[in-house]
Chain A
């Protein structure tokens, strides 16, 4: 103990004597209860190590007080729940144990031996990741034995690892690099030749340099446990051991990109990102993914005006730490097929770039020539809440109320919030013990929700039943039927699945939003609600009736009330305003209709457009998106917009001014103030608003159900929106990976 510390302690004890009425004033923080009363604290004058904070991510949750056990880490006592491993105990104590094979979301392998620590009375160092902590265990992480053990393990790991860090894409974010700097020796004793391993072809997304592999088996466990594709394995033995698929096989998982993140070395790296940039050159922007309705938390890494890669961010309630391949790799679509300038289609049928002033004037003029009821606005699947608000306000001011968001169908149930969101919440699905999937294939519609279902099925053997066209779920399930017939049988209680539903404690029904496109959707929903009543799916303590949305804009559009006034408005439209809507069927649109396309990609609808307004993509703007569980999140601009493009809401705001119906907001804050009046929950970011009204108050529908079988909402997982359709990587994926089905 230094002199200064001694002086502080001395002054502490003396001041306690002086200010006895308030003894707790100078008390130091400590976790043991006997040290908390001042007498023993005064008695314990022996030097104690300073308490440390738990490492990021280490959470301690005691189910009951008797579950707690006390261990000491480096002489510092901590309380942990029973069943924690030594490594977790060290994390709670704020000691970082080096590790390669251990990953908190995967099973424990214990084969890298990097996490060796010394435990008192144990003859050898123990692998802390696989050793359960026992009461009274004295763990030492910084003794000569532990340090020597780590150094020895590191020497063996580096024995066969090539010294190609300068040309390795993992360089700078490599666990092996970092840990060999921190725990390794400065020299090795290995004089032989290094082993070399043949590279494997895992498809267009994952690049392999298998010679760099240190056989931690994280990727094998990820593929087997989380992704649910048992393709990877550990082949051979001893020094000839290697990771591979044995037979030539691509990794056909929608989560395969995550092996890039969990690989602690540069053996599995991103193929599209290979040799593009170094990670320290990149600027990270924490934002939200819009490729599906899950709203995965992502970090966009950009260099200058270019998006270089997309990585997941930890969010336990939404995507844990995984993201789907589409989220991770569709970014190259942001650089291709972009709309740079406002354009007007000339008499020769070709687009001509014009100034914003001219383009807005032309549109405003046409808008005033048509009848208000002939004006139609459609928001696209990537629209943010702010721009949808502006679109609706603009059309309302023009006298029309025919505005909706694609994917929501012509009669969306927008009035009752619980009837269009995932009421159970994504994390809440883990508590369910029986699933009924109605017309939804979560594996392609929302891979992160599917990963949750799979996690639940693996952990608790929850039963999954599925009604819809044959598809491959990556978990055990029962295929009940392909159409509404089966649904009616369950609703009438004469299907064998009813007994499973009744026996379940927390049943969850998930309806695909693809059903909204059907004419008989109200009938189907009332059938599902009958099933929900039958199986007590909606209770005060559990709401298991869920709708799984398909795209990022849907929930916010319904919250903002983007509901068309007339179902046949497209057939009679004279003025169609498409705000990034590329998946609407324009076949019935009259030939003389004037189409404005506002968006960031030259995609399907551009062929019909008369005027183009270039807009910014999700990576270039600040916008609010509501995910399928009703949680509002905001994107942040990572890169500047291309060309002369503007934010969607700003374009509509300027158009309104030119058209003489000026919208009353000039800033994003003012748009949000307007949103607060319509749907305040959209401003409560990262919060889930529980459903306040129950399904019971909904009027009963007795619509005839047609017996047409359920369709697939997502035909090609890799190409669902304008960005992924413009992406070269996604095109490669759909060519190589989805043709096998």
Chain B
């Protein structure tokens, strides 16, 4: 009896999926992987620009910064600096960390390279494959998804003519997905990691309340080298306030009633 019930349930589930796929053909086609993983492969494949024999070295300015980062930690806990140093390497190397950069970080913090690989593969913010000068990260978590982040991503991908985690031919843009970045009140949002100016001019900006139309404008502004205004893109809103101005708390807030000291 259980078996037949189970089969029935499975069949029903399949039907629901079919219906869903028919009503959102575009969505189903895009999330073709059954379980999508945010990161790339968890192992390294040698390529001409990414193999252990490519030399990677921090620039002189970044060597100073690395020294400064290491000074934050006790000398016997150098390995604590692994994340800031990987971040620095990523900024210097145009937004991604080749395996030789991980080896270089391992040398600085005096651990086995595998301990750095573990950290670099764990955090999805570390890119281990090439990204564009402007890495566009679309938030895909529930509030943003409800407010249309999937359309945002589809628009970006269509406009740039790439797939997710692919770089445009001119090397300018790549689109990735990031989980909740804490802007749910201004959903949907995208983040632009700007690696075009190295680690000195590196920025990581939030563009909130975006619409499919607005993200294309933002991309085009970035392409021209302009700096789109960060924060909410809804002209009616100010930061995370309500559209059209405040509706409550307009006057001076009343102070809390004083405790009746005599009652004690």
Interface residues of A (CB under 8 A from B): 191-193, 195, 198, 200, 230-242, 244-248
Q: CA of A248 to CA of B52 in the docked complex: distance in angstroms?
A: 10
Q: CA of A241 to CA of B121 in the docked complex: distance in angstroms?
A: 9
* Nearest-CB residue, chain B, relative to A197: B42
Which residues on the A side are within 8 Å of B35 (C-beta)? Answer: 192-193, 195, 239
A245-B114 in contact given A235-B43, A236-B42 (Cβ < 8 Å): yes
Are B52's CB and A235's CB within 8 A?
no
* Nearest-CB residue, chain B, relative to A223: B114
Are B34's CB and A246's CB within 8 A?
no
Which residues on the B side are within 8 Å of A238 (C-beta)? Answer: 37
Are B117's CB and A235's CB within 8 A?
yes
* Nearest-CB residue, chain B, relative to A195: B35
Nearest-CB distance from B111 to chain A (Å)?
8
Which residues on the B side are within 8 Å of A236 (C-beta)? Answer: 39, 42, 121-122
Interface residues of B (CB under 8 A from A): 10, 13, 34-35, 37, 39, 42-44, 46, 52, 99, 111-115, 117-118, 121-124
Q: CA of A598 to CA of B194 in the docked complex: distance in angstroms?
A: 76
* Nearest-CB residue, chain A, relative to B118: A233
Are B39's CB and A234's CB within 8 A?
no
A232-B122 in contact given A192-B34, A240-B42 (Cβ < 8 Å): no
Which residues on the A side are within 8 Å of B42 (C-beta)? Answer: 235-236, 240-242, 244, 246
Q: CA of A679 to CA of B124 in the docked complex: distance in angstroms?
A: 67
Q: CA of A236 to CA of B43 in the docked complex: distance in angstroms?
A: 9
Nearest-CB distance from A187 to chain B (Å)?
8
* Nearest-CB residue, chain A, relative to B37: A240
Which residues on the A side are within 8 Å of B43 (C-beta)? Answer: 198, 200, 235, 242, 244-247
Are B118's CB and A235's CB within 8 A?
yes
Nearest-CB distance from B112 to chain A (Å)?
3
A246-B117 in contact given A192-B35, A235-B43, A240-B39 (Cβ < 8 Å): yes
Q: CA of A238 to CA of B44 in the docked complex: distance in angstroms?
A: 19
A-B contact count (CB 8 A): 65
Are B121's CB and A231's CB within 8 A?
no
> Which of A191, A195, A240 contacts B10 (CB under 8 A)?
A191
A246-B39 in contact given A191-B13, A230-B114, A236-B122 (Cβ < 8 Å): no
> Which of A191, A195, A200, A237 contacts B121 (CB under 8 A)?
A237
Closest 3 CB pairs of A and B: A230-B112, A236-B42, A246-B117
Q: CA of A235 to CA of B117 in the docked complex: distance in angstroms?
A: 7
Which residues on the B side are within 8 Å of A200 (C-beta)? Answer: 43
A235-B121 in contact given A191-B13, A242-B42, A244-B43 (Cβ < 8 Å): yes
* Nearest-CB residue, chain B, relative to A231: B114
* Nearest-CB residue, chain A, relative to B117: A246
Which residues on the A side are within 8 Å of B99 (C-beta)? Answer: 246-247
- Report 11 cross-chain contacts, Cβ distance below 8 Å, ordered by A residue: A191-B13, A193-B35, A230-B115, A234-B118, A236-B42, A236-B122, A237-B122, A238-B37, A246-B113, A246-B121, A247-B113
* Nearest-CB residue, chain B, relative to A232: B114
A233-B115 in contact given A198-B43, A247-B99 (Cβ < 8 Å): yes
* Nearest-CB residue, chain B, relative to A198: B43
* Nearest-CB residue, chain B, relative to A249: B114
Q: CA of A247 to CA of B46 in the docked complex: distance in angstroms?
A: 8
Q: CA of A198 to CA of B34 in the docked complex: distance in angstroms?
A: 18
Which residues on the A side are within 8 Å of B39 (C-beta)? Answer: 236-237, 240
Other CB < 8 Å A-B pairs besides A235-B43, A242-B43, A245-B114, 18 of them?
A192-B35, A193-B34, A230-B112, A232-B114, A233-B114, A233-B115, A233-B117, A233-B118, A236-B39, A236-B122, A239-B35, A240-B42, A241-B42, A244-B43, A246-B114, A247-B99, A247-B117, A248-B44
Which residues on the B side are within 8 Å of A245 (C-beta)? Answer: 43, 114
Q: CA of A232 to CA of B43 in the docked complex: distance in angstroms?
A: 12
Q: CA of A232 to CA of B123 in the docked complex: distance in angstroms?
A: 18
Are B44's CB and A247's CB within 8 A?
yes
Nearest-CB distance from A527 to chain B (Å)?
36
Which residues on the B side are within 8 Å of A198 (C-beta)? Answer: 43
Q: CA of A593 to CA of B43 in the docked complex: distance in angstroms?
A: 61
Nearest-CB distance from A185 to chain B (Å)?
13
Which residues on the A side are within 8 Å of B124 (C-beta)? Answer: 237
Which residues on the A side are within 8 Å of B118 (C-beta)? Answer: 233-235
Nearest-CB distance from B124 to chain A (Å)?
8
* Nearest-CB residue, chain B, relative to A189: B6
Which residues on the A side are within 8 Å of B10 (C-beta)? Answer: 191
Nearest-CB distance from A160 to chain B (Å)?
11
Nearest-CB distance from B36 to chain A (Å)?
10
Q: CA of A238 to CA of B34 in the docked complex: distance in angstroms?
A: 16
Q: CA of A233 to CA of B123 in the docked complex: distance in angstroms?
A: 15
* Nearest-CB residue, chain B, relative to A193: B34
Are A246's CB and B115's CB within 8 A?
no
* Nearest-CB residue, chain B, relative to A236: B42
Which residues on the B side are within 8 Å of A235 (C-beta)? Answer: 42-43, 117-118, 121-122
Q: CA of A191 to CA of B10 in the docked complex: distance in angstroms?
A: 8
Nearest-CB distance from A630 to chain B (Å)?
38
Nearest-CB distance from A513 to chain B (Å)?
32
Which residues on the A side are within 8 Å of B44 (C-beta)? Answer: 246-248
Nearest-CB distance from A628 to chain B (Å)?
31
Which residues on the B side are within 8 Å of A193 (C-beta)? Answer: 34-35
Q: CA of A226 to CA of B71 in the docked complex: distance in angstroms?
A: 32
Which of A245, A247, A248 has its CB near the most chain B CB atoms (within 10 A)? A247
Which residues on the A side are within 8 Å of B111 (C-beta)? Answer: 230
Nearest-CB distance from B83 to chain A (Å)?
14
Which of B39, B46, B111 has its CB near the most chain A CB atoms (within 10 A)? B39
Nearest-CB distance from B79 to chain A (Å)?
12
Which residues on the B side are within 8 Å of A195 (C-beta)? Answer: 35
Which residues on the B side are within 8 Å of A248 (C-beta)? Answer: 44, 46
Q: CA of A231 to CA of B118 in the docked complex: distance in angstroms?
A: 11
Nearest-CB distance from B216 to chain A (Å)?
32
Q: CA of A652 to CA of B118 in the docked complex: distance in angstroms?
A: 60
* Nearest-CB residue, chain B, relative to A239: B35
Q: CA of A195 to CA of B35 in the docked complex: distance in angstroms?
A: 9
Q: CA of A232 to CA of B113 in the docked complex: distance in angstroms?
A: 10
Q: CA of A230 to CA of B117 in the docked complex: distance in angstroms?
A: 12
* Nearest-CB residue, chain A, relative to B2: A187
Q: CA of A506 to CA of B85 in the docked complex: distance in angstroms?
A: 42
Nearest-CB distance from A732 to chain B (Å)?
24
Q: CA of A198 to CA of B112 in the docked complex: distance in angstroms?
A: 23
